[in-house]
Amino acid sequence: MAFDSSIWVWIPLAIAIALALIGKKRAAFATLAVALLGAWFEARLSITGLLVTVLGFAIASQVPRNKGFKKYLALTVTIVWSLGMALHWLPGFANLLVLDKVQTGPASIPFTMYLNLDKPLIFFALLLAFPGLLGKAKSVEWQSLVKSLLVLTSLLPIAVILGGLGVEVSLPNWWWLFLLNNLLLTCVAEEAIFRGFIQQEISKQLGWKTGLIAASILFGIAHLAGGWLLIGFATIAGACYGMAFYLTGRLWAAVLVHFMFNFMHLLFFTYPIAIR
């Protein structure tokens, strides 16, 4: 593990995300401001990056306030901005490298991890653009939820059978860092994009099944770099995360299911894949 003094910046960022997930939006954005100012002070965020962030948030906030052409223009820019942040294409951000070519075990390939500053900001922009991003709580359909979770838990053993993974029980000394990063920085951003935004918006127009399928396919395509097998598995996993969101009405439920799947992968299987 490699830390420097700037790691404290991600503490208020994580708190801001947690506050936003439980509906405390004002407190969340106030805490986010502390994180951004700290990132600037620690040279993890330049003036350019700060301007990129403020501009993105300002445009996103116009989506629910306008209609017609102005609304769709703001929506288009928000989507392009979010894509740029997710792919780390926008300037002004110095994400912190904390794990450099580490292994969870001898059978796993080396793994590198950054604490990202740009990608988690997508969650806040989408909150501004879509006030209903977090979902609307409803009575949980437990039987259907359990079925989708059983499908999800079967994916990793199937990947072992197909040769993509191996069984390797391990608890690396940086597990807690993986836990915090994966839960609050990675899973929240991805679920906000694919379930909170894409699945919900398509569902409003074409029905929940179409929304679920479309979001799941796009989630699979987002894993294109891992090859066709990973695309297929990610698509099915995405459908299970989408079912968790649909059946509970809570975005945090999809985030939690997504995280638990990733953490189970880390603890009991080669991560991210087996050495070949």
Of 15, 242, 17, the residue nearest 124 (C-alpha):
17
Q: How far apart are CA 242 and CA 247, in angstroms?
A: 8
SS (H, E, C) 125-182: HHHHHCCCCCCCCCCCCHHHHHHHHHHHHHHHHHHHHCCCCCECCCCCCCHHHHHHHH
Cβ neighbours around 43 below 10 Å, total: 9
pLDDT of residue 276: 80
Burial label, 171 (beta-carbon count in 10 A; 0-12, 13-18, 19+) = exposed
Q: At what angle do helices 68-86 and 121-129 cross, to 10 degrees?
A: 170
Burial label, 249 (beta-carbon count in 10 A; 0-12, 13-18, 19+) = middle
First vs last C-alpha separation in the chain: 25
Q: Using one digit for the tens of pLDDT, what is the confidence trace for 35-52?
A: 999 999 999 999 999 999
CB 64 within 8 A of CB 130: yes
Question: Two tokens at 18?
Answer: 């947690």
Q: How far apart are CA 131 and CA 115, in angstroms?
A: 27
Name the pLDDT band for 103 (thresholds 50, 70, 90): very high
pLDDT of residue 39: 98
Q: How far apart are CA 226 and CA 230, in angstroms?
A: 6
Q: Using one digit for the tens of pLDDT, what is the confidence trace for 106-163?
A: 999 999 999 999 999 999 999 999 999 999 999 999 999 999 999 999 999 999 999 9
Angle at 60 between CA 191 and CA 85, to 5 degrees: 55
pTM: 0.95
Question: What is the torsional sign of CA 136, 140, 141, 143?
Answer: positive
- The helix (H) or strand (E) run that includes residue 221 is helix 208-221
Q: Using one digit for the tens of pLDDT, what is the confidence trace for 168-197?
A: 999 999 999 999 999 999 999 999 999 999
pLDDT of residue 2: 64
**Residue for token digits 């294409």?**
89
